[in-house]
Structure formats: C-alpha cells, structure tokens
C-alpha cells in the first residue's frame, strides 16, 4: 500500500473569516436518486467519466458521519503497519500523529473535482495498491470500479446517530439547519448523499451477491461493517478488516498485541487528542472549510438520545424499518 496518500491540508487555519459558506450547506438537489449539492453533481459526473479503477484498488465507502474518519485511520494503519509501526521506538513517527486521518485516504469525489486544482487525474498519481474512499451510493460508483470488481469496505451506522452527527456537522456552518429541520429532511431521505436507507441497502445487497458468488471468504468483494458492532468488538473487527485487505495479522502479531495497539492508536480518544486533529481548519470538501476537530465530536453509540425526543426516534425507526423490510438489514 502506498505510504501516505491524499491531500496535504494545513492545520493552521485559513484566516480570520473562519467557517465561511453559510449559504452552501443544505442546498441539495436530486441526482439519479441521490441528494447532492450542485457542485458535487459536477464532480460526480467528472469522476464517472474520468476515473479509471485498478483491479487492486480498495474503496472505503460510507454514508457521511458513519465513521469514515475512523475507518480511514484503521485501514491506513493496518495496511501500512510494516512501514509505520504502531508500537515501539518508531511509533512516535506514525503518520496518524502528523496528518488528519481524512487526509491519509483520498476521496474520489472530494475536494469537488470540478475545481481546477483538484483534477481526477490526481488519483492517477497514487501508487498501487490504492486505498481510496467515497460517500457515493453504489448506483453512482464509477463504472470501472464495478467492472473490475474492486474490493469495498462499507461502514454503516444507526441512522438516529447519523442524523444527530450530521446535524452537528452541518450546523457548524449553517445555523439555520436546526435539529427539527434536519429531522424533517432526514425522514424524507433529503439529506446529502441520501436517502441513507438506499445507500446502506445498495451495499448490503452487493455484499449479499458477493458472498453468494464467492467460494471462499477471500474472494468476497464487499465487507459490510456496522459502527456499533465495531465499537463493541474493535479487536475482532480489525482482524476481519486486515483479512479482507489481504494483510492478515500473523500469530506472532496477535500474541504480541499488535491488534490492540492498532485499536488504541485509532481510538476516538487518542485521535481526538492529537494536535493535528484538535486544532486548525481545512477545506476537504471544496469551498467549505471545516475545523479539523469537527470530525471528532462525541464518538458514542446512542448519543441520539441526548438530542432527539422519543417521538422523533420512534418515527425515524419506523421509517427505516419499513424501508429495509425484507432485506435482512437491521439497526
Ligand atoms: P459523532 O458526531 O456521533 O461523535 P465521519 O468520519 O464519517 O465524518 O463520522 C464522524 C463520526 O465518527 C462522529 O460521530 C465522530 O465523533 C466519530 N468518530 C471519529 N473518529 C472516531 C473514532 N476513532 N472512533 C469512533 N468514532 C469516531
């Protein structure tokens, strides 16, 4: 896996204006069944036309606020652990202590690719095997990703926690995005990259097809993960992730505690405390600078209970249950 990938954002801030584009957030339009900003639509079209997948690419796919930052940290650390040891004398030089996890694995569609300074061709320069990420639903993935059968790690999360996390994130740049407004739009599926149930179902179904067609686990092309389960059993999930990424932990690594070291390094508390993550501002989206710390808020399962009424929770649960009926996917 290539050593360090992705953008090179300063964490020193972008000037006095702080978080700028209040007018941008919340303005989504439907594009082929998915709600996106107009800028994102242009970017997605460019990616669709220009991105050339390689058969050994691995894509980390998430609906926003499902734990992308965590998954990027874990996948990067697991795949690069021979180059960048997680414990011992060199551990203080680990890239996660110097770079925001978001910047170690680049997105396909962000920063928005219509911007001159972020052409799709940037991704061509990365050495194989590439670790890439995206929030795109399966229906908008570039055709070559599907044709070549690139491996996908999909991470989803309880929609109530996603709603609350997304609301906090967007509310930082758009104070008009109240929890009531966020709830109303989320229930209609009208949120960025939404509807969330379509997003999850697309990859859930793809995972089911992939495992029914594969004779062995090693040939599966989709690893479907849930944030809540990863939080409950991180060691088991990191082992599973390493197997899927074709860099399984050796018996020696397991007995010497390397898996636990990876879990600790990528834990919410550890990453939140790293200066590169706790200070500064960076524009990773395209015209939307955000504080680096905004990717590390509560990091809990069930925080929705502190922000949604029981009535709201029941309504959203009922909608999600109805949308997922018959699929076997539950939250
Ligand atoms: P909360 O807002 O509920 O705290 P994304 O990375 O997809 O933008 O998701 C952000 C969510 O993941 C936030 O959830 C954030 O706190 C949480 N998160 C970030 N890093 C994490 C980590 N290392 N472990 C667990 N959760 C993490």
Q: What is the CATH number of the domain that holds 49?
A: 3.40.50.300
Segment 18-25 shows an average pLDDT of: 36
pLDDT: is 25 or 211 the higher one? 211
Atom of ligand 1 nearest to the CA of 161: 3
* Residue 244 domain-assigned (yes or no): yes
* Residue 24 domain-assigned (yes or no): no
Our answer to whether residue 168 is catalytic in this structure is no
Distance, CA of 221 to CA of 237 (rounded, Å): 17
Is the pLDDT score of 16 beyond 60? no
Query: Please, which pLDDT band fits residue 5 given cuts at 50, 70 and 90?
Result: low
Distance 148 CA to ligand 1 centre (A): 31
Which range marks the domain in which residue 148 is found?
Answer: 29-324
* Residue 2 domain-assigned (yes or no): no
Atom of ligand 1 nearest to the CA of 303: 3
Report pLDDT for 11. Answer: 35
Report pLDDT for 301. Answer: 98
Distance 65 CA to ligand 1 centre (A): 6
Choice from 100, 173, 264, 295 to test ligand 1 binding pocket (greatest atom count within 8 A of CB): 295
Query: Please, which pLDDT band fits residue 256 given cuts at 50, 70 and 90?
Result: very high
pLDDT: is 68 or 11 the higher one? 68
| Ligand 1 neighbour 101 (Cβ under 6 A) | no
Number of domains observed in the structure of the chain: 1
* Residue 19 domain-assigned (yes or no): no
Catalytic residue among 11, 100, 135, 307: 135
Report pLDDT for 212. Answer: 84
* Residue 8 domain-assigned (yes or no): no
Atom of ligand 1 nearest to the CA of 64: 7
Omega before 129 within 30 of 0, i.e. cis: yes
Which of these, 55, 67, 6, 36, lies nearest to 137 by C-alpha position?
36
Report pLDDT for 213. Answer: 81
* Residue 202 domain-assigned (yes or no): yes
Weakest-pLDDT range from 148-162, 208-222, 227-241, 245-259 = 208-222
Is the pLDDT score of 86 beyond 90? yes
Cα 44 to Cα 47, 113, 195, 256, 284: the distances in Å are 5, 8, 17, 44, 16
pTM, rounded to two decimals: 0.93
């Amino acid at each position: 896996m290539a050593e360090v990938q992705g953008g090179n954002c300063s964490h020193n801030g972008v000037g006095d204006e702080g978080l700028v584009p209040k007018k941008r957030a919340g303005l989504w339009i439907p594009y082929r069944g998915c709600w996106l900003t107009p800028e994102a639509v242009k970017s997605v079209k460019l990616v669709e036309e220009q991105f050339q997948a390689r058969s050994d690419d691995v894509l980390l796919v998430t609906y926003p606020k499902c734990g992308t930052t965590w998954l990027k940290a874990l996948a990067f650390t697991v795949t690069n652990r021979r180059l960048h040891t997680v414990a011992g004398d060199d551990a203080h030089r680990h890239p996660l202590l110097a770079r925001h996890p978001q910047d170690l694995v680049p997105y396909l569609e962000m920063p928005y690719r219509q911007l001159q300074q972020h052409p799709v061709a940037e991704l061509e320069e990365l050495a194989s095997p590439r670790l890439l990420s995206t929030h795109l639903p399966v229906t908008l993935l570039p055709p070559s990703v599907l044709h070549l059968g690139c491996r996908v790690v999909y991470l989803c999360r309880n929609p109530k926690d996603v709603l609350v996390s997304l609301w906090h994130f967007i509310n930082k740049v758009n104070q008009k995005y109240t929890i009531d407004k966020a709830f109303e739009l989320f229930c209609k599926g009208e949120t960025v990259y939404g509807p969330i149930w379509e997003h999850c179902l697309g990859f859930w179904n793809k995972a089911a097809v992939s495992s029914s067609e594969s004779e062995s686990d090693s040939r599966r092309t989709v690893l479907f993960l849930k944030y809540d389960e990863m939080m409950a059993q991180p060691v088991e999930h990191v082992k599973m992730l390493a197997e899927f990424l074709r860099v399984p932990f050796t018996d020696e690594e397991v007995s010497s505690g390397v898996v636990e070291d990876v879990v600790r390094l990528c834990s919410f508390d550890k990453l939140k405390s790293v200066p590169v993550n706790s200070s500064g501002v960076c524009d990773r989206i395209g015209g939307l600078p955000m504080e680096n710390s905004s990717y590390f808020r509560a990091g809990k399962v069930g925080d929705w209970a502190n922000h949604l009424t029981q009535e709201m929770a029941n309504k959203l649960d009922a909608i999600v249950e109805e949308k997922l009926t018959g699929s076997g996917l539950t939250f």
